[in-house]
Amino acid sequence: MKFDVAIVGAGPAGLAAAYRLASSGFKVVVLERGREPGAKELYGGRIYAYWLDKYLPEFRKDAPVDRWVRKERVSFLTEDKALTVELAITQKEKTSFVVPLVSFVSWLSKLVQGAGAKIVTEVTVDALVKDEKGKITGVRSGSDVLQAEYVIDAEGVNRLLLERAGIVKKLEPELVAVGVKEVLKFENKKVLEERLGLDEDEGLAWALAGYPTEYLPGGGFIYTYKDSLALGVVVYLKNWEKLKTPVYDLIEKFRLHPYIAPLVKGATLQEYGGHMTPVAGINMSPPRYYYDGLLIVGDAAGFLLHTGVLIRGVDFAIASGVLAAEAIKEARSPSAEDLAIYEKKLRESFVLQQLEKFRSADRLLGDESLFRDLTLLSTEAAYRYFNIDHNQRTMFEAVREASKKTRVSVLKTMINMIRMLRSL
Amino acid sequence: MSLKYFTIEERLNANAWDVDIHRPHIKIKDPDKCRTCEKKPCTYMCPAKCYVQQGDYIVLSTEACVECGTCRVVCPHGAIEWNYPRSGMGIWYRFT
Ligand SMILES: Cc1cc2nc3c(=O)[nH]c(=O)nc-3n(C[C@H](O)[C@H](O)[C@H](O)COP(=O)(O)OP(=O)(O)OC[C@H]3O[C@@H](n4cnc5c(N)ncnc54)[C@H](O)[C@@H]3O)c2cc1C
Ligand code: SF4
Ligand code: SF4
């Protein structure tokens, strides 16, 4: 059986492409190695709505939403101190929501099937199939070959297929981080709400720097699902040598930190996992996003925006999937020449514009001193300012004392802060 | 405040799996490289503690692997042969 389009991966990117194409009458198949869509996927917890309204407006009607985020928190955390900034929105605003990725993906796959595309699960694609001219003509799983006019690669960050096809080199540690995550379930969702100061169905997104990753680039995160918490740490692979604690223990140290432990007391562990995430954004993109017969979308293409505090992969994945579908709809043939329209669409959209803008975020975020210095200096300075003894300090004195105690240079920190303001 | 530390085994037990006992999907193709690998990053960076050092060597058990791919990227000696488990098998996330 020959399909118009074969899509590898039932993640947000692949499913968004499948939905658009099937809705326009294309014969589409999605191949997914997991038991069900989402079975192999893990993320932090939050999806941004702004661009979804443009690329997948259906989500407003009936996509699962655990909580709309109305509180954003950022903390600098040390062994014994935490400095937290919170932004709270009091209107019932709906700009980003928390939900398990598996629930969202499962909703998306129903949409896809409703539009007439086929999703085949439990199929691991081993390779992209090329003809003698190098054009991608299908995919191979074991000894089975499936032919398709167009192939969309939505295999995610691990991109074995692109590597095997000679399109990208093996991932380098500089390009990725590993996220380790626990889902902690509460008997009663009121307990979770009371502890975090949330109204019913109100959500919290929280990023924590410093202690969670032993002051190395990356950090901790907490998101509030309906009656559970998503809690995790993200560690840049390139820093492994400086890590004193293995990542599987790092996350428990974070959960048991005296600032976090009271929040998760009594919760039971529902799931534990890990996943890589691109940290280099388009610095890890393949040389091109389109080839004869092939389009590359989502994480596999490096379409993820990461600023340390915010991480946006799902909305970029969906947008790129939709744009790939539009490109196929407009292309007269699967030649690279005709598919170049995909890149044009990416450039005209927020996807490449935003990623270009944050291109240098990666270098800054990988700077070790940034996380260490800022965390140590700011928590210590705040402590000295608020902790009154024989002497009440001015802010300046508090910072100066903190600098002495932590041996972090104020000037260097200020320069780093300016760099941050400019590129994050 | 004293909360219980969940051992990695306890944490992995919370997960659902379909383990392919017939074919481990990851192999150390060159154990000699592990012997001379000074810091053994796989033992630090694998979230599922699949790599355990025993003397100079590494014992790899793939049953609890969460298929993140980290070991393959972080291994400085290219000693790992890495693939996905056979179709449908391996980790099965339900709540993440
Ligand atoms: C720790 C962490 C926290 C994150 N937090 C957030 C967040 O809060 N918000 C956000 O927006 N983004 C977040 N992200 C990023 C987000 O998860 C990704 O950007 C997004 O899932 C990418 O979608 P995708 O469809 O490209 O790839 P994926 O979601 O990875 O989907 C790829 C799919 O392809 C399948 N597949 C792969 N290879 C094959 C093959 N050979 N054969 C068959 N099937 C295959 C996989 O099983 C999988 O289902 C986070 C990521 C991590 C790791
Ligand atoms: S990192 Fe690679 S070479 Fe080193 S011990 Fe681990 S598997 Fe062996
Ligand atoms: S893929 Fe991830 S979980 Fe599996 S062995 Fe490698 S590092 Fe560990």
pLDDT per residue as tens digits for the range B37-80: 999 999 999 999 999 999 989 999 999 999 999 999 999 999 99
What is the per-residue pLDDT across B22-41, written as a single tens digit (0 to 9) for each?
889 999 999 999 999 999 99
Q: What is the C-alpha to C-alpha distance for residues A101 and A105, in angstroms, rounded to an integer?
A: 6
Taking 80 as the threshold, does the pLDDT of residue A99 lie above it? yes
Run of H or E residues at B89: none
- Determine contact, residues A282/A359, Cβ cutoff 8 Å: yes
- Name the pLDDT band for B3 (thresholds 50, 70, 90): confident
Burial class (CB in 10 A: 0-12, 13-18, 19+), A106: middle
Q: Is residue B45 part of a domain?
A: yes
Nearest to B77 by CA among B28, B39, B41, B33: B33
Residues 6+ apart with CB under 8 A from B41: A240, A241, B74, B75, B76
Q: Is residue B67 part of a domain?
A: yes
User: Residue B82: which CATH number?
Assistant: 3.30.70.20
CA A353 to ligand 2 centroid distance, Å = 39
Q: What is the C-alpha to C-alpha distance for residues B51 and B43, in angstroms, rounded to an integer?
A: 5
Does B96 contact A158 at a Cβ distance shorter than 8 Å?
A: no
Q: What is the C-alpha to C-alpha distance for residues A327 and A190, in angstroms, rounded to an integer?
A: 47
Number of folded domains that form chain B: 1
pTM listed for this prediction: 0.96
| Size of chain A, expressed as the number of residues it contains | 424
Q: Is residue B9 part of a domain?
A: no
Bridge partners of residue A218, in order along the sequence: A235
Q: Is residue B43 part of a domain?
A: yes
Q: Is residue B3 part of a domain?
A: no
Q: Is the CB of A124 under 6 A from ligand 1?
A: yes
- Determine contact, residues B69/A275, Cβ cutoff 8 Å: no
Nearest to A20 by CA among A313, A298, A329: A329
Q: What is the C-alpha to C-alpha distance for residues A341 and A322, in angstroms, rounded to an integer?
A: 13
Q: What is the C-alpha to C-alpha distance for residues B63 and A166, in angstroms, rounded to an integer?
A: 30
Nearest to A98 by CA among A252, A299, A351, A314: A314
CA A129 to ligand 2 centroid distance, Å = 32
Q: What CATH class has A3-64+99-172+283-358?
A: alpha beta
Chain B CB contacts of A249 below 8 Å? 8
Q: Is residue B54 part of a domain?
A: yes
Q: Is residue B19 part of a domain?
A: no
What is the per-residue pLDDT across A137-173, written as a single tens digit (0 to 9) for each?
999 999 999 999 999 999 999 999 999 999 999 999 9
Q: Is residue B62 part of a domain?
A: yes
Would you state the pLDDT for residue A226?
97
Taking 70 as the threshold, does the pLDDT of residue A174 lie above it? yes
Give me the interface pTM, i.e. the ipTM.
Answer: 0.96
Residue B36 structural domain: 24-92
Comparing alpha-carbon positions, the chain A residue that sits nearest to B67 is A275
CA A352 to ligand 1 centroid distance, Å = 19
Ligand 1, atom 38: nearest CA belongs to which residue?
A: A155
Bridge partners of residue A203, in order along the sequence: A69
Q: How far lies B14's CA from each of A226, A227, B64, in Å?
A: 19, 17, 11
Q: What CATH class has A176-278?
A: alpha beta
Run of H or E residues at A65: none
Domain ranges of chain A: 3-64+99-172+283-358, 176-278, 367-423
Chain B CB contacts of A33 below 8 Å? 84, 87-88
